[in-house]
Amino acid sequence: MQVQRAERKSTGSRSGSSVAKTLQRSALVPGIPDQSAAYALLAEQCRARVEGLAPRQRDVLAGLAAGHSNKQIAHTLGLSPRTVEIYRAGMMSRLQVRTSAQAMQIAFVAGLVPFDTMTL
């Protein structure tokens, strides 16, 4: 019980995404015999969540993953910024995440944005 409370305090959320939890558990943990199989399973779960999005929600997720603001995404898609906010809220609900960082984890693991195209 105390361990669970400490984990909640350290992660900063009460009900984190199961995908994020799986990512944390399987990432380079000694004792997991086949980490590539665990990552493949995780990637499949992430792809299934992304495929469950509406086309515009997927467009908004791709824009966010590319590092664009709501206004930039709205301009690119020919929408109002408020409409992008609505799509973003729906996208986060369907992905079952609470933060945009969790949504980005799912997008990257699902392969929505290849790592070699990212700029830092």
Instruction: Supply the pLDDT for residue 115.
Output: 54
pLDDT tens column, 10-36: 444 444 556 556 555 545 555 556 668
For residue range 72-110, list pLDDT tens digits in order: 999 999 999 999 999 999 999 999 999 999 999 999 888
pLDDT-derived band at 38 (thresholds 50, 70, 90) equals confident
pLDDT at residue 44 greater than cutoff 70: yes
CA–CA distance, 23 with 41 (Å, rounded to integer): 10
**pLDDT of 47 strictly over 70:** yes
List C-alpha distances in Å: 28 to 35, 56, 71: 7, 34, 37
- Structure confidence by residue, pLDDT tens digits, 110-120: 888 765 554 54
Residue 113's nearest CA partner among 62, 77, 67, 73 is 62
Phi, psi of 6 (to 5 degrees): -65, -40
